[in-house]
């Protein structure tokens, strides 16, 4: 329609409808049978598979139109598989991969792989190689490849008939003197936590019960670490993007931080994080 904005070098296939309030970036591929309604924004290098269903009204009624339609944003480099359905008002993070037939009902983190109905994060893709990350087991791995500022640190452990004892000493085992700690527990298995970097503070994570996966990202490459024991911890220094997902039902994650809580120390926007690291 007349108000639509379409970038350069795009591939718009048969039976695609593009409404007025639609913005499409450069080098975008839109396969057959896709309808882009008012309020949809596609960034550069986005791929939209055949028959992907977009929406722009959470409470649609015949001949009743909202004054402003919900804004749905697909950030640059993301791919949406064939026949996926996207609820309105959500953001698909950059370079995310949405599987065929997935029903997406919430925001998707950058670089995430999402499948199912409703869609769930099942993994993440690496940067340059654009391949799904293979989790490293912190109990058996000694280094985190690609993201060399992040360290897997073994802790002291003793096992006897009365049980097991794990401990760490700040000056001997941790790379900083902790100023605070917090505990994360009772996380539903489909939730993603974290999704931020720190400007100055360090963090040290250890799973004292159950297990979870931690994704670390230096702005160019990323790695995934599987934490499942208090025998080992993960050091995340400043200016490393981190998140946790795939929490087991009994997971208890203990986190030490190098400073007191300071909201100004958090970088919660991935684009801002990249601007400081790349």
CA distance 132 to 177: 35
Residues involved in catalysis: 196
């Amino acid at each position: 329609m007349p108000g639509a904005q379409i970038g350069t070098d795009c591939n718009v296939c048969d039976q695609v409808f593009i409404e007025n309030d639609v913005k499409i970036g450069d080098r975008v591929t839109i396969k057959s049978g896709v309808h882009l309604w008012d309020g949809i924004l596609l960034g550069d290098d986005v791929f939209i598979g055949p028959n992907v269903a977009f929406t722009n009204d959470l409470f649609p009624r015949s001949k009743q139109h909202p004054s402003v339609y919900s804004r749905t944003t697909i950030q640059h480099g993301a791919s949406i598989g064939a026949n996926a359905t996207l609820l309105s008002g959500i953001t698909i993070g950059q370079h995310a991969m949405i599987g065929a037939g997935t029903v997406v009902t919430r925001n998707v983190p950058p670089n995430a792989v999402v499948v199912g109905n409703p869609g769930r994060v099942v993994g993440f893709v690496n940067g340059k190689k654009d391949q799904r990350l293979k989790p490293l087991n912190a109990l058996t791995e000694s280094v985190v490849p690609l993201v060399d500022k992040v360290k897997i640190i073994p802790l002291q452990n003793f096992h006897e008939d009365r049980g097991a004892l794990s401990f760490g000493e700040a000056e001997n085992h941790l790379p900083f003197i902790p100023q605070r700690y917090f505990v994360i527990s009772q996380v539903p298995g489909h939730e993603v936590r974290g999704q931020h970097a720190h400007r100055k503070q360090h963090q040290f994570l250890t799973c004292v019960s159950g297990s979870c996966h931690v994704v670390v990202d230096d702005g160019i490459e990323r790695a995934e670490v599987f934490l499942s024991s208090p025998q080992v911890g993960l050091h995340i220094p400043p200016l490393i993007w981190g998140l946790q997902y795939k929490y087991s039902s009994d997971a208890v994650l203990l986190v030490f931080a190098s400073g007191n809580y300071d909201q100004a120390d958090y970088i919660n926007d991935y684009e801002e994080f990249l601007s400081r690291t790349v």
